[in-house]
């Protein structure tokens, strides 16, 4: 039996109903150019790439580098959180809830 893609009601029929990143990962993995490949080989990355329409700059990195950067960022955030806790920079759960509710302008739940 072949596999099939089921698209939910109300979704764009040209795009499957996957979360944004997953859709891009599964269906839209662009291929790098020879020029980009050579730059990665020479520089080791990250290699800046500019969108010629929006002029937004992106960076090409290999998966190992990206995973390392993400892990380093997560570890740093955890270290900062622990330092805040040890320094007494904390709020109660009720205070946190009040701050969140104020930001999203919803009445605090009972």
Of the two residues 82 and 26, the one the predictor is more confident about is: 82
Residue 90 backbone phi and psi in degrees, to 5: -135, 160
Helices assigned H by DSSP within the chain: 20-27, 34-43, 63-86, 93-104
Separation between Cα atoms, residue 76 and residue 13, nearest integer Å: 41
Whether residue 32 contacts residue 43, with contact meaning beta carbons closer than 8 Å, is answered with no
* pLDDT the model gives residue 43: 80
Does the pLDDT value for residue 1 go beyond 80?
A: no
Task: Give residue 91's pLDDT band: very low, low, confident or very high (50, 70, 90).
Answer: very high
Q: pTM here? A: 0.53
What is the average pLDDT across 61-90? 94
- Number of CB atoms found within 10 A of residue 66's CB: 14
Task: Give residue 99's pLDDT band: very low, low, confident or very high (50, 70, 90).
Answer: very high
Write out pLDDT tens, residues 47-72: 999 999 999 999 999 889 999 999 99
What is the average pLDDT across 94-100? 93
| Residue 57 DSSP SS3 | strand
Give strand pairing partners of 58. Answer: 49
* pLDDT the model gives residue 30: 84
């Amino acid at each position: 039996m072949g596999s099939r893609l089921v698209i939910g009601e109300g979704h764009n029929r040209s795009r499957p109903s996957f979360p944004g990143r997953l859709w891009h990962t599964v269906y839209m993995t662009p291929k790098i150019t020879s020029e980009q490949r050579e730059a990665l080989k020479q520089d080791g990355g990250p290699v800046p790439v500019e969108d010629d329409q929006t002029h937004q700059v992106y960076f090409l990195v290999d998966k190992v580098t990206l995973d390392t950067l993400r892990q380093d960022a997560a570890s740093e955030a955890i270290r900062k959180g622990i330092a805040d806790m040890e320094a007494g920079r904390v709020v109660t759960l009720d205070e946190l809830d009040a701050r969140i509710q104020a930001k999203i302008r919803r009445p605090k739940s009972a």
